[in-house]
Structure 1
């Protein structure tokens, strides 16, 4: 079973909208080496896992796959915030739905000059399950051979390539909203590289001679440097409410990154960050829920969270 704690896994910094950065970030979401790929690949590998003696490896893959769900949420929300708002019209919830087009106004004309018109035409200024050139995400990206060593090798390659691409994304924009998410994903990709590399080492695989982790010098990025100093590159979370994960049998000892840190799988989840919902977008004719429906949603969410807290306790 999966539960959702209504917090972001990392804080998204505030900055101005940047549709070009949003489009670039689509590669990190729906591209061949993006977060949707890692999420689906690891979850399918854990679902299809066979062999009770290999439970620590299943738990490791499943824990990382669960974290990737939060990464999809984080990068998708970041894309939406980078798209949120027209330079010629700032909507107000009290405005009539047809107000944006009154008097011949064209508040969505920005869509005609941006790389992905679908962000406005189809997605209502939100993220889409596509890459940076609009190709839809495909299930054929998922690699699940059933052979543990092959799967772990492929996962290590996937995380390494994903981190490399995110370092390039970082250098494409100075937008604080984009960089806050990109830098976090760079460091967490490194943590997952470390975990898969350590898992391969426990299986006797000398991965260093055949699949070296790429050198990116990402520690030169200020936001990344701060997260590395916190040791985030060496932590693996279980996301296991029942305390049955055995991933800690694998994720221990010195980090394969050779940075002098020790791997740590003792924490259930990261601290998280407050989750907020973006304002309505009248110019997209997306006014959201009315007052009565919002009240019902909030009441239902409060009851569900109270029930989870009473049953399992607050996640730490």
Structure 2
């Protein structure tokens, strides 16, 4: 059972729209080594897990898989921010530009920058595809049922994902893109540490079998700041009832830096989520004033009828 906290796992720094950067980030979302892949792979491995005596490994997989849900949310929202409104659009919030009427064509950058489907199909939002538009595929998911094989594959997946994100970081100076990518680079390193530590506990000499790539990502200022907070050596359990045993594995010396120690926490604090404004040039949504008034009236009616917020979990 999952709960949703209405916060983003990391801050998305505002900057100018950049459809090209948004398309590069699509690879980190829906590509073969992207966050949709890691989310589905780790969750299915945890759902299909066998052997109660090995519960700490199941809990580790489940916690990382749950975190990956928040990474999908983070990247998708970042892509939407990067495509949110043409910087050349001089229209108003209520009217669309008329051809040759003096204002810029609202969606003209869709023809030359980034992925046209972000505008033509996705209404300036993310899609479950890679950077060249190939749909995400469940065939990416690896779940052999053999714990050592799965952990080795997961370590490779995180290492390749981090390598690709370092490349994406180098493709754009846009602060919106870099704030998200830098965070994911560091969290990928934390997950590398998790799977490396799990393999060590099973007697696997992973450092000779599958060395972690040296990316020198600490040269990126945003990454360096996160590393100073030790974010690469912390793993979240997302466990409200405190039954996770992942801490039995994720402890001791860090595989990526033996001079530092690993540790678990329930969940990060997160940052507030801002809902994007309507885009009139995309007809998404907000053009129908009467419909907006009806939605608002319905919302106010529901709030008035609610005696108290719905609460989940044990009630004291």
For normalisation by structure 2, the TM-score amounts to 0.92
Which runs of structure 2 are paired with 1:269-284 in the superposition (5 Å)? 269-284=267-282
Relative distance call for 1:159 and 1:300 in structure 2 (3 A) is: farther
Structure 1 residue 89: Cα displacement? 2.0
Q: Counterpart in 1 of 2:310?
A: 307
List runs of 5+ in structure 1 lacking aligned partners: none
Relative distance call for 1:202 and 1:295 in structure 2 (3 A) is: farther
Distance in 2, Cα, partners of 1:106 & 1:152 = 50
Q: Are 1:29 and 1:129, in contact at CA under 8 Å, matched by a contact in 2? A: yes
1:221 and 2:223 are equivalent in the alignment:
no
Relative distance call for 1:281 and 1:304 in structure 2 (3 A) is: farther
Q: Counterpart in 2 of 1:268?
A: 266
Which moves more between the two structures, 101-110 or 24-33? 101-110
Relative distance call for 1:145 and 1:295 in structure 2 (3 A) is: farther
Which moves more between the two structures, 38-47 or 302-311? 302-311
Structure 1 residue 260: Cα displacement? 1.8
Relative distance call for 1:242 and 1:294 in structure 2 (3 A) is: farther
Distance in 1, Cα, partners of 2:53 & 2:33 = 30
Relative distance call for 1:277 and 1:131 in structure 2 (3 A) is: same
Q: Counterpart in 2 of 1:51?
A: 51
Superposed CA RMSD: 2.2
1:24 and 2:17 are equivalent in the alignment:
no
Which runs of structure 2 are paired with 1:137-176 in the superposition (5 Å)? 137-176=136-175
Relative distance call for 1:64 and 1:294 in structure 2 (3 A) is: farther
Runs of 4 or more above 4 Å deviation: 90-93, 101-105, 294-305, 309-313
Q: Are 2:21 and 2:114, in contact at CA under 8 Å, matched by a contact in 1? A: no
Give the alignment partner of residue 97 of structure 2, picking from 91, 97, 100.
100
Task: Give CA deviations for 1:16-47 in whole Å, capped at 9, x if unaligned.
Answer: 00000000000000000000000000011011
Q: Are 2:16 and 2:87, in contact at CA under 8 Å, matched by a contact in 1? A: no
Structure 1 residue 290: Cα displacement? 1.7
Task: Give CA deviations for 1:231-286 in whole Å, capped at 9, x if unaligned.
Answer: 00000001011110000000000100025211001x11011011001111000011
Distance in 2, Cα, partners of 1:191 & 1:133 = 28
Structure 1 residue 108: Cα displacement? 1.1
Structure 1 residue 107: Cα displacement? 1.4
Distance in 2, Cα, partners of 1:52 & 1:138 = 31
List runs of 5+ in structure 2 lacking aligned partners: none
Distance in 1, Cα, partners of 2:308 & 2:45 = 30
Q: Are 1:41 and 1:144, in contact at CA under 8 Å, matched by a contact in 2? A: yes
Distance in 2, Cα, partners of 1:160 & 1:301 = 47
Q: Are 1:143 and 1:151, in contact at CA under 8 Å, matched by a contact in 2? A: yes
For normalisation by structure 1, the TM-score amounts to 0.92
Q: Figure out how many residues of one structure are paired with residues of the other and give that number.
A: 309
Which runs of structure 2 are paired with 1:242-253 in the superposition (5 Å)? 242-253=241-252
Distance in 2, Cα, partners of 1:69 & 1:219 = 25
Distance in 2, Cα, partners of 1:5 & 1:205 = 37
Give the alignment partner of residue 283 of structure 2, picking from 282, 285, 299.
285
Distance in 2, Cα, partners of 1:138 & 1:178 = 24
Distance in 1, Cα, partners of 2:28 & 2:170 = 14
